[in-house]
Amino acid sequence: MEKNEDYRLVIVGYGGMGSYHARLVEQAERIQVAGVLDIAQYRQELAKSHGHTIYDDLQSVLSDDTIDIVLIATPNDVHKELAIAALQAGKHVICEKPVTIHSQDLLDILQVAKEVERVFMVHQNRRWDEDFLIVRQLIQQQTIGDVFHVESRVQGANGIPGDWRQLKAYGGGMLLDWGVHLLDQLLLLTDSKIESVSAELSTILNTEVDDGFTARITFKDGLTALVEVGTTNYIKLPRWYVKGSQGTAIIQDWDLSGEIVRKNLDVAHVEPKPIQAGRGLTKTMAPPSEESTIRSPIERIAEQDVPEEFFHNFIAVVEGTAKPAVDNEQVLRVLRLIEALFEAAEQNQIIQREL
Ligand code: NAD
């Protein structure tokens, strides 16, 4: 069946993510890639070789009345100027994360979007990651009781890729990169406000931007979180480690390996037996007995619990029939949290701030 392509989209920035979007849009309904613009000639050539129409400059995109949507997938420092120019030209805008380097820049974009009555939505796509959806469901369904601590990590051993991500002026560094995803996910795990934050940044392989970070976040409802990104980890820690009043869950990786161990509520308390541990005995650190616990593998998310696909949602927002899957207030909150973490790291202090 022929694709009904009501919406014409131009991708600005045809690098890793721009070309990925081109493939995603290909699979989405009612939307097509009408063209590509990149300031690098070899990227323009590449897009052409992939069958895309090429625009010579931004002005020709903006003045093309057949274009409804501009998708920004450039380095972070130019998101703001591109977004404002596209909105003012009457286009709806999809922008890659981090939406901007500073929260004030996002506020400036949102002001323009409001004035021109166009949709502006940020591609914070890791809200759709299944590992995250599983953790969120586990918390909502109280599978391991009341969750009081969450650890969320991603760790690689390749340093920061050797491009603009190593440079401060482009909004490089891991807090503004993977930090956006992990913090965005974290804020969706509870309705509570943040009470305080602290952070350490690492600069192991470079001095200009952080090549990793450890952030500690305390929410007003008592939930604590440790969010960590590393780029010099030859052995990784689990992607998720979640502690509840009645159990613990581990998700090792994006392959969803891991397990949930929880109290068997049908069994009366079993006193732990001392075990030999190193050169001593311990009862406190003995594993829970087999009969007092239930072990289960990580279960996949049911089809009906997977959120609406990004481009599908975007079109529905443009048509006024759905709320944005990525709300701009939530995007702003992530940026403000990142700013607080930079501040905490710089001052080497816990920052008490309601966020
Ligand atoms: P990249 O370096 O691979 O590609 C960026 C492209 O933008 C380059 O081809 C560059 O020539 C072009 N460009 C730079 N300035 C431009 C301008 N003014 N006009 C037009 N083109 C311009 O970078 P990338 O990895 O594709 O990252 C792009 C954006 O996507 C960043 O904001 C990044 O944080 C984000 N990103 C998001 C995800 C995700 O999962 N959501 C993953 C990777 C990257």
Same domain, 174 and 302: yes
Is the pLDDT assigned to residue 184 strictly greater than 50? yes
User: Is 2's pLDDT higher than 50?
Assistant: no
E strands, 13-167, in order: 31-37, 69-72, 92-96, 120-123, 147-155
Residue type for 80, please?
K
Residue-wise burial string across 13-26, b where 16 or more C-beta atoms lie within 10 A, e elsewhere: bbbebbbebbebbe
Percent residues over pLDDT 70 in the chain: 99
Which residue's CA is minimally distant from atom 44 of ligand 1? 17
| pLDDT per residue as tens digits for the range 141-175 | 999 999 999 999 999 999 998 899 999 999 999 99
78 CA → ligand 1 middle, Å? 10
Position 288 scores a pLDDT of 87
Output the residue whose Cα is nearest ligand 1's atom 29.
Answer: 73
Probe residue for ligand 1, chosen from 43, 57, 76, 96 as the CB with the greatest number of ligand atoms within 8 Å: 96
* Residue identifier of the C-alpha nearest atom 12 of ligand 1: 13
**Of the candidates 88, 107, 123, which is a domain's last residue?**
123
On whether the CB atoms of residues 305 and 133 are closer than 8 A, the answer is: yes
225 shares its domain with 243: yes
pLDDT of residue 336 exceeding 50, the answer is yes
Quote the mean pLDDT of the chain.
96
Please answer whether residues 304 and 96 qualify as being in contact, where contact means their C-beta atoms are separated by less than 8 angstroms. no
341, 206: one domain:
yes
45 Cβ closer than 6 Å to some ligand 1 atom: no
Residues 235 and 151 in one domain: yes
Q: What percent of the chain has pLDDT over 90?
A: 93
State if residue 165 touches ligand 1 by the CB under 6 angstroms criterion. no
Q: pLDDT band for 1, please (50, 70, 90 cuts).
A: very low
- Considering just the CA atoms, what is the radius of gyration of the chain in Å? 23
**Model confidence at 290, in pLDDT bands (50, 70, 90)?**
confident
pLDDT digits (tens, 9 = 90+) for 72-99: 999 999 999 999 999 999 999 999 999 9
Helix, strand, coil fractions of the chain, as percent rounded to 5: 35, 25, 40
Confidence at residue 5, expressed as pLDDT on a 0 to 100 scale: 67
161 with 31, same domain: the answer is no
**Peptide bond before 98: cis, by omega within 30 degrees of 0?**
yes
Report whether residue 129 contacts ligand 1, using a CB cutoff of 6 Å.
no
| CATH code, 93 | 3.40.50.720
Q: How far apart are CA 20 and CA 328, in angstroms?
A: 23
For residues 22 and 84, state if they share a domain. yes
90 CA from centroid of ligand 1 (Å): 23
CATH code of 225's domain: 3.30.360.10
Residue 268 binned pLDDT confidence (cut-offs 50, 70, 90) = confident
**CB of 171 closer than 6 angstroms to any ligand 1 atom:** no
Distances (CA, A) of 4 to 30, 32, 145: 5, 9, 47
Residue 287 lies inside a defined structural domain of this protein: no
Check residue 289 and give its pLDDT.
86
Determine the distance separating the centroid of ligand 1 and the alpha carbon of 313, expressed in angstroms.
22
Query: Do 167 and 234 fall within a single domain?
Result: yes
Same domain, 117 and 139: no
Last residue of a domain, one of 88, 123, 158: 123
Q: Between 202 and 291, whose confidence is greater?
A: 202
Kindly state whether residue 324 falls inside one of the protein's structural domains. no
What separation in Å is there between the alpha carbon of 36 and the centre of ligand 1? 13
Full-prediction pTM beyond 0.85? yes
Inter-residue contact 215 to 206 (CB < 8 Å) = no
The reply to whether 148 and 35 lie within a common domain is no
Q: Which atom of ligand 1 is nearest to the CA of 177?
A: 34
Query: Can you tell me whether residue 72 is helix, strand or coil?
Result: strand
Structural domain boundaries, residue 178: 127-257+298-306+336-352
> pLDDT tens digit string along 131-144?
999 999 999 999 99
Strand order through the sheet with 240-244: 293-297, 258-263, 247-251, 240-244, 147-155, 224-230, 212-219, 194-202, 351-352
Q: Is 323 a residue whose pLDDT tops 70?
A: yes
- Number of domains within the chain: 2
Task: Please state, in angstroms and rounded to a whole number, the distance separating the CA atoms of residues 128 and 185.
Answer: 9
Of 97, 123, 149, the one marking the end of a domain is 123
- Lowest-pLDDT range of 29-38, 96-105, 299-308: 299-308
Distance 56 CA to ligand 1 centre (A): 18
Query: Are 140 and 98 within one domain?
Result: no
Is 70 exceeded by the pLDDT of residue 69? yes
Domain-located, residue 290: no
pLDDT value of residue 161? 87
Ligand 1 pocket, 307 CB below 6 A? no
Residue from 74, 76, 56 nearest 64 by CA: 56
Ligand 1 atom with minimal separation from the 81 CA = 18
- How far, in Å, CA of 114 to CA of 93, rounded? 12
Say if residue 3's pLDDT is above 60. Answer: no
Same domain, 30 and 162: no
Give me the mean pLDDT over the 307-314 stretch.
95
Check residue 4 and give its pLDDT: 52
> Could you tell me if residue 209 is inside a domain?
yes
Q: What is the pLDDT of residues 12-61, one digit of tens each?
A: 999 999 999 999 999 999 999 999 999 999 999 999 999 999 999 999 99
Arithmetic mean of pLDDT, 201-205: 95
Indicate whether 145 and 246 sit together in one domain.
yes
